[in-house]
Structure 1
Amino acid sequence: MGSKKKAKKSQNDVSDEVEAIKEAKEHKKQLEKLKETQPEFYEYLKEVDKELLEFDADDDDVKIGDDDAETDLDDTGVDDEGDLDDSDVEKAVVGSKKGEQSVRAIITMEMVESWCKGIQENEKIAPVRSLLKAFRVACHLAEESDEKSSERLTTMSKAVMNKVMVETLTNMDGILRNLMNLPAYGGKKEKLIEVKSTKNWKKYQHLVKSYLGNTLHALNQMTDAKDISFTLKHLTRSSLFFAAFPAFLRKYVKVALHFWGTGSRELSFASFWFLRTLCVQLGSDCLDECFKGLYKAYVMNCQFVNATKLQHIQFLRQLFVEFMLVDLPTAYQHAFIFIRQLAMILREALNMKTKESFRKVYEWKYINCLELWTVAIRKYGLEPDFKPLAYPLTQIISGVARLVPTARYFPLRMRCVRMLNCIAAATDAFIPVSMLLLDMLEMKELNCPPTGGVGKPADLRTVLKVSKQALKTRSFQEACVSSVIDELGEHLAQWSYSVSFFELSFIPAVRLRNFCKGTKVERFRKDMKELIRQIEANSEFTNKKRATITFLPSDLATSSFLEEEKQSGASPLSKYVATLRQKAQQRNISLTESSVLYGAEPSLSDKMLAESDEEDGGDEGGAIFNSFYLQQKETREKPPEVEKKQKNKKKPKSLQQEAIDEDIVEDLVLSSDEEDEPMDGSPLPEETDEIEMETPKKKKKQKTAADGSVKKVRKLAFLSREEWKADSVDY
C-alpha cells in the first residue's frame, strides 16, 4: 500500500490484484474506525507512521472507462479510433508513488468472445480494432516496461492469449478483404493496386499494417515449430497485402527463408508454401530474392550430412524443384548461374590439381548441388525453357566422376553414375555411362582377395569415400559389384528397345566376360554371367525385329522402333532390371529402415500440396500457442540485471543473417569452411597415382581467383552448346 518500490507481479497473479483493491478499501475503513475507538493509538500512529494513515484507497481504485487503458495498434504511431471496450475492462494496481501509479488492464475471455460475436453479427469497425489491439498485446507480452511507473500495461491469461491469436490469424484476412472489397481468397498484385486508390483503403490500411506488423513481431519471437507453422499457414492467405508494404515483404521473405532452411519437415513445407504463394501473387517483387535465398539455405543444410540429414536434404531438394515451377524462365536464369559456378570450381580443381582444390569438389555441398539440378532436369528436362541445361550439367558430373579415380571414392562415383542415368532417362539422350562402371570393375581392390575380413555391411549411399581398412573387406567388394551391376543394368535397359542396341552393348559385354575370367570370387562370376546372358538375349530380341525393317538409321522412323514393346516393358533387360531393383530395395531395408537412395526419392506429396491450397485448412487451433505464452512469461520474469547484461552483450550473427543476407549469390563459393577438417572423417587419399598432388602455395590467392571468376557470372549471356564447349574445360 505505502510501498515505494514498484511491485513485480507475474501474469498468473492478476486475479490477486483485483482482490488487493478490495482489501485496500476494507483497510481504509478499519483506519477510520480506529480513530473513533482508540484515539490515543491513532495519535501515536500519526507521529510514527504518518504515511500509513494518509493511505487513500480511492487512488488505487481505477474507475471503469479510464482512458489510460488504451493500447496502440502498432509501433508506427498510427492515430487509432475505437479503443478497447473500457466498460468491460478489469484493472489492477501494480504499484504507486506520490502522484503516479501504474495500471494493468486485464483482457478477459468474455471480452474476446464479445468482440468476435460483434464482428460476425454486424459490420462495425470497433470490435475489429479492439481485437487487433488485443492481438498486439498478445504478440508483445514479453515487452512490458518497468522503467516508468506511470505507464499503463495490458495483460491476459494463457487461454485468452490463445483465443486472441487463433481468432485473429484465422479470421482477420477475411475481415480485411471484406473492408477493402477484395476477393475472398487469392488475387493478383494488379487488383490491390486498384484498391489502393479507393477510400476504403485509405481509411483502413492502418489495420492491415497493424496485423502484418504484429504478426511479424510474433514470428521473430516464436521458437516452437507448431506455432510458427500455424502462423505462416494462415498468414499465407494475406499474401496479397504485402504488395502495398514492400518493407514488410522483404522482412517476411527473410524470416520464411530462415524457417525453411532450419526448421523441421512441417515447418519447411509451411515456409515453402508461404514463399510460393507470395511469388505467385506478387510476381517479380520477390521472385529473385526467393530463388537466391532458397538455394543458399539449401547449400548451408548440405554442409554436414549423415543418414538422417540426407532425408531432410532430399525433402528440401524436392521443395526447391517444385518452387521452380512458379516461373521456369526465371528459374533457368538462376540455374544457369549456379551450374556455371559449379563448373568454375571443377575447372579450378582440374587446373591446379591440389588437395585443397579437390576438397572443394569432393564434398557434400558440391555433390548435393549437382543432385539438386539433376532432379530439376529430371522433372523439367523436356521443357524448352530448361532443357539446354542438361548438356553442361552432364559435362560437370562426368568431370567430377573422373577427377580422382581411386577406389576410396567409389561411393561418390556411383552417385555421379546415378545422376547421369537420371539425366539420360529424362532427356532421352545417350550418355556413355558404361565406361565409368566398367573402369571400376578393373580396380585392383575388387580383384584381390579380401584381407580385412568380412567387415561391417557397407552402405554406399551415405558416404562419399571409404576408409583404407574398409577397402579390404569382403562386404565392400560385394557392395561395389552389386552397385555396378544395378547401374549398368539401368543404363542398358534404357536403350534395350533401340535399333542400335547390339552395337551399343558389344563392348560392355566383352569387358564383362574379361571380368568373369579374371575374378576369383564365384559369386561375382555368377552375377556377371547372368547379366551377360540378359544382354545377349536382348540383342537377339532387337536383332530379330531389326531384320524386318527397311528404313535407314538416320531416318526419323527409328524413334518408333519397338514402341509397343517399350510401353509394355517386354524386353529381357527390362524384366531383369525390375528384379534387380527389388533385390536392391531389400538390401537397403536391411541396412536402414528408410531409404535415402538418390534414385528412390519419393515425390512431393500431392496431398500436402492440396491441403495447403485449401482456404480453411481444417486447423482448429486448439491450444496451439501455449509454448509461445510460456516463452514470453519466462522473458518477462527475468531479473532486470540479467536483461541488462544480455542487452550489453554483443549478439552473434544469427543463422538467418548468414543465409538470407542481401549480398549477391555469385559471391557464395561452395567450398569447405573447415580447411583442416577432412570429409567423412578421414583425409584425402594420398595414393592418387593418376594425379600428381602439388603443395598449395597460398590459399588466399586461390580463393581470390575463384571468387573473381564467380563474380563474372552476371556478365555472361546464355551460351549455346558449342559456346559451352569452347568456354569450358575439356572434361
Structure 2
Amino acid sequence: MKKKRLENDEENGEEESGEDWQAMEEMGMESGSEGEQEEEADIDEAGNDDEFISGKEYKTNIQKLKDKDPEFYKFLQENEADILNFEGEQSDEEEAGSEQESDEDEMEEEEGSEEGTSRAPKLRKDPSSGRLIVDDALLEYLEENLEDPSAQIDLSDVRLAIDVFTACTARVGADIEPPEYVIDEQPIFDGCVRLCFRSIGPILCKLMGKQDDDDEASVTSKRRFKKYSPLVKQFLQNLLLFVSEVQSEKVIVSALHTISPLVGLFAKFTKLAKRLVKVLVRIWTRKTLNCRIVATLVMSKLAKNHSQHFSNLFKSCYLGFVSNSRDVNNDSLPLLQFMQRSFAEITLLAPERSYPYAFVYIRQIAIHLRNAMIGKRTDLVQTVYNWQLVQCLYLWVRVISKAHFVSGAEALNELAYPLTQIIVGVSNLCQSSRFLPLRLHCASLLIQLQANCAIFVPTLDLTCDILDDVIRIVAKKPNIKAISKKKETTILPTEINLETMLKCGSTQMEQIDWRNAVCDYLFRIFMQAVHITCSQAAFPDLIFPIAHRLQHSIRRLKSPRFSQRMKSLLQKLNEHAKWVRNEISQKQICIDDDLQVLAIRSVLNHPDSPFRAFYRQWEKVWKLQMGEQTSFNAKGESKGETKEKQSKNRKGLNQKKKNDTIKVEVEEKLKMTPNGKKQLIEQKESSKKKKKLKKQVAEPAGDAEDMILDINSWFEEDE
C-alpha cells in the first residue's frame, strides 16, 4: 500500500507542474482511486479483528492446557485464579454484540412501529409495460401519512414515496432503469414532486439523527447510519439526476432549496458529494442568475461545514469559470462578474487551503506569458491575448483585493506583487494599436489592485503610454464611409462597449464613435489613477513628470473635446500639487512619529481639496451618462418592438383597404346589371351562414391530458 501511495503522490506532483491550460483539468482529479481506499479500509478492519480472541477460543485453550500439563494448571488455580475464572468476564466482541443488541432495543423503543403494515391503496397496472400507475388515491395517501407531524414514521411509506420520486426522475428523462411505478398524468407528476421536495428530506434527516439546523446530519450511532443509508442514498441519487435533467428555472431553484438542508447527508457519501459538486458547478456556470445565486449558497454551505470537500469544489469552480469565459459579450459579462464575486467568497472561506491552488494557477498564467515573451510567435501571443486569460486576471484581482480585508488571508495577500508583474507584462507584450482595448483592461486591473491592496503601482505611466497610441489613432483622418450618419453625442453608443472588446479592426478604428468611446474610457482611467494618489504627501513629486508628458501630448491631440478635458485635468493636477505643498510646509513633520504622519494624511484627504471636488463633479456627470445610456438601450429595444408592430399594423390596414376597394368595384359592376341587386343580397346571406357554421365548428379545447413535460408553471400556487 505504501507503493500505491507513493505512486499517487508522484502523479499529483506531475499534474501540478503542467504548463498548459490542460494541466488545470488534470489538477481536478484527486489522487488515488476510491476502490483502493475501500480496499485499505477493509484490510485495516481485518488486521484489527486478528488482534482479539473470542471467549470460546480462550476456554478451549485452557482445557487443552489442563489436559497436557495438569501440574501447571494446579499452580494457576492456587496462585492466579483470576486468569482461569473466565465465566464472569466477556470478550470485546461479546461486549460489542451486547451494545448492538442494546442499540437495537433502544431504536425499537424510540421508533415504535416503524415497519408498520402499509395501508396504501391498490394500483392498476399498465398493460404495455406491466408497471404500476400512480393515481390520485396514492398521492392523497402519501400526503396524509408523510405530512402529518404527529404521526409516527412508517418506513414502508417512506420507501413508497422514494420509489414514486424515482418514477418522477425517469419521467423527466434521466437515463436509469425502468422503475416499478409510472406516472401518466401531469398534475399527479407535479403533486408527487412537490410532496417529495417538502417531506422526504426532513424525514430522512430525522431518521439519521439530525437534531439542529446548524448541526449537519449529526448521526447518533453507526447502527442507525447503516440501517437507513440505502434509503438516503437512493433519494439523493434521484435528486441529483432530477436537477441535472430539468431545464425550468423555478424547478431548479426549488430543487436546490431542497438540497441545501441535505448537504450534510451528501457529505457522508464521497461519490455523491463529488456528483453534487459537478451538478452545482454546472448550474453555477450555465444557468440563469437566480439559479446561480442559489447554487452559490449551497456551495458555500458545503465548503464551510465540510472542509474535506473544499479542494474538489475549489478546483471544479475554477475550471468551470475558465471554460465558461471563452467568449464575452453584453449578456455574459454580468454573469461572469457574479461568478468572480462568488468565487472570491468561496475562496476566503478557507484561505489556507486555497492558497496552494491559487499560487499554482497564477504561476500557470506567468508561464504562458513567459513563453510568449521568449518565442514572440503569433500562436504564443494568442495564448495570452484571449478572454480566458484576461478573465482569469480579473478573477484573481478580485480575490486578492478582497483578501486584503480578511484576517487570516495574509498568504493570499502576498500574491499581489507577482500578479501585478504579470499584468504589466501582458500590457507590454504587444504594442500594436489593435490591442488597445486589452491594454485599457490591464490599466483598470492595476487600478483595482492599487486601490484595494494599499500598494503603489505606476498606473499613470502606463496610461500615458496608452495616450500616445490614442493620439496616433486620432491623428489619422477617418474614412468617410466608416463615419456613422448619427450625430456625435456625449452618450456612449450601444454598439460600442469596450468592456467586451479585446481588439479592434482597422475599419473600426476609423469610426468617430469608437474613437470617442476610447477617449472617454482613457479619461476615466486617468481620473481614477490620480484619485488614488491625491491624498499622498508625495503627490507633487509623483505628478511632476506626468504633467510634462500630458502637456506635450495635449499639443498633438486633434480631438477638440478630448483635448479640452485633458487641459482641465492638467490644470487641476497643478492646483492640487500646490495645495499639497502648502499644507505640508505649514506643519513640522517627523517621519518617525506615526501620529504626525496619520494627521497629515487626514489633512490631505480633505473632501474640499481641488482634485477631490473636481472628481466628484466628473463622477456625477459620468453616472448620469451611464444611466441615460441604460435607459437609451431599453428605449431602443422598445422602439424596435413598436416599429415592428406598427409595420405589421400598416400592412394589415393596407390589405384591408385594398380588399374594400375591390369589393366596392365589384358591387358597382353588379348593380349595373339587371339581376345584380339579387346577387349581392344572396352573397351577403351566404357569408353570414358561413360565419355561423365556423363558430359552431370551432369548439373550445377539452380537458385532454397533455403528456408533454411542461413544468414552467410550477410552484406558482405555493409562492
The TM-score range, normalised by the shorter chain, is 0.5 to 0.7
Partner of 1:362: 385
Q: Is the 8 A contact 2:540 2:577 kept in 1?
A: yes
SS at structure 1 position matched to 2:479: coil
**Post-superposition offset of 1:578:** 2.5
**Post-superposition offset of 1:117:** 4.5
Q: Is the 8 A contact 2:478 2:510 kept in 1?
A: yes
SS at structure 1 position matched to 2:536: coil
Partner of 2:143: 113
**Post-superposition offset of 1:485:** 2.3
**Post-superposition offset of 1:337:** 1.1
Q: Is the 8 A contact 1:84 1:130 kept in 2?
A: no
Per-residue CA deviation, residues 189-230 of structure 1 (Å, 9 max, x unaligned), is 7x44xx342x43333333322221221232233232322221
Q: Is the 8 A contact 1:83 1:130 kept in 2?
A: no
Give the partner amino acid of 2:531.
A
Structure 2 CA distance for partners of 1:573 and 1:125, relative to 1, 3 Å: same
SS at structure 2 position matched to 1:498: coil
**Post-superposition offset of 1:87:** 5.0
**Post-superposition offset of 1:559:** 4.6
C-alpha distance in structure 1 between counterparts of 2:567 and 2:175, whole Å: 80
Structure 2 CA distance for partners of 1:300 and 1:418, relative to 1, 3 Å: same
- Which residue of the other structure, out of 416, 425, 430, is the alignment partner of 2:442? 416
C-alpha distance in structure 2 between counterparts of 1:325 and 1:231, whole Å: 27
Per-residue CA deviation, residues 144-174 of structure 1 (Å, 9 max, x unaligned), is 99999xx964436322322222222223332
Per-residue CA deviation, residues 452-494 of structure 1 (Å, 9 max, x unaligned), is 3544844322211111122233333333333222212211111
**Post-superposition offset of 1:512:** 1.2
C-alpha distance in structure 1 between counterparts of 2:363 and 2:706, whole Å: 44
Q: Across the two proteins, how many residue pairs are aligned to each other?
A: 512
Partner of 2:90: none
Q: Is the 8 A contact 1:497 1:562 kept in 2?
A: no
C-alpha distance in structure 2 between counterparts of 1:83 and 1:144, whole Å: 32
Structure 2 CA distance for partners of 1:317 and 1:628, relative to 1, 3 Å: farther
Partner of 1:503: 541
1:488 aligns with 2:526: yes
| Greater RCO (Cα-Cα under 8 Å, separation 6 or more) | 1
Partner of 2:620: 582
Structure 2 CA distance for partners of 1:139 and 1:469, relative to 1, 3 Å: closer
C-alpha distance in structure 2 between counterparts of 1:205 and 1:441, whole Å: 66
- Which residue of the other structure, out of 91, 103, 109, is the alignment partner of 2:124? 91
**Post-superposition offset of 1:379:** 1.4
Q: Is the 8 A contact 1:408 1:467 kept in 2?
A: yes
Structure 2 CA distance for partners of 1:425 and 1:351, relative to 1, 3 Å: same
C-alpha distance in structure 1 between counterparts of 2:122 and 2:116, whole Å: 11
Percent of matched pairs sharing the same residue: 22
**Post-superposition offset of 1:555:** 5.8
- Which residue of the other structure, out of 260, 263, 285, is the alignment partner of 1:261? 285
Larger radius of gyration: 2
SS at structure 2 position matched to 1:241: helix
Per-residue CA deviation, residues 282-340 of structure 1 (Å, 9 max, x unaligned), is 112x2111111111111111111211111211111111112112211222222111111
C-alpha distance in structure 1 between counterparts of 2:531 and 2:553, whole Å: 21
Give the partner amino acid of 1:208.
V
Give the partner amino acid of 2:609.
S
Superposition TM-score, scaled by structure 1 size: 0.64
Structure 2 CA distance for partners of 1:142 and 1:422, relative to 1, 3 Å: closer
Partner of 1:131: 161
Give the partner amino acid of 1:132.
I
Per-residue CA deviation, residues 683-704 of structure 1 (Å, 9 max, x unaligned), is xxxxxxxxxxxxxxxxxxxxxx
Partner of 1:666: none
Matches within 5 A, 1:293-692: 293-383=316-406, 384-443=410-469, 444-446=471-473, 448-453=475-480, 454-455=483-484, 457=493, 458-552=496-590, 556-557=594-595, 559-565=597-603, 569-589=607-627, 592=630, 630-631=708-709
C-alpha distance in structure 2 between counterparts of 1:581 and 1:542, whole Å: 22
C-alpha distance in structure 2 between counterparts of 1:137 and 1:508, whole Å: 71
Structure 2 CA distance for partners of 1:461 and 1:558, relative to 1, 3 Å: farther
Unaligned runs of 5+ in 2: 1-113, 487-492, 634-704, 712-719
- Which residue of the other structure, out of 182, 186, 195, is the alignment partner of 1:158? 186
C-alpha distance in structure 2 between counterparts of 1:400 and 1:550, whole Å: 43
Q: Is the 8 A contact 1:91 1:103 kept in 2?
A: yes
Give the partner amino acid of 1:130.
L
Which sits farther off after the overlay, 213-222 or 583-592? 583-592
Superposition TM-score, scaled by structure 2 size: 0.65
C-alpha distance in structure 2 between counterparts of 1:145 and 1:524, whole Å: 62
**Post-superposition offset of 1:124:** 4.0
C-alpha distance in structure 1 between counterparts of 2:126 and 2:564, whole Å: 88
**Post-superposition offset of 1:250:** 1.4
**Post-superposition offset of 1:407:** 2.2
**Post-superposition offset of 1:266:** 1.5
SS at structure 1 position matched to 2:183: strand
SS at structure 2 position matched to 1:91: coil
Per-residue CA deviation, residues 121-142 of structure 1 (Å, 9 max, x unaligned), is 3344443333233223322346
1:206 aligns with 2:233: no
**Post-superposition offset of 1:411:** 1.2
Q: Is the 8 A contact 1:119 1:128 kept in 2?
A: no
C-alpha distance in structure 2 between counterparts of 1:373 and 1:305, whole Å: 18
Q: Is the 8 A contact 2:116 2:154 kept in 1?
A: no
Unaligned runs of 5+ in 1: 1-80, 596-626, 634-731
Which sits farther off after the overlay, 454-463 or 391-400? 454-463
Partner of 2:197: 169
1:232 aligns with 2:256: yes
Q: Is the 8 A contact 2:281 2:317 kept in 1?
A: yes
Q: Is the 8 A contact 2:174 2:245 kept in 1?
A: no
Q: Is the 8 A contact 1:302 1:364 kept in 2?
A: yes
Give the partner amino acid of 1:394.
T
C-alpha distance in structure 2 between counterparts of 1:492 and 1:366, whole Å: 27
Give the partner amino acid of 1:277.
K
Q: Is the 8 A contact 2:330 2:500 kept in 1?
A: yes
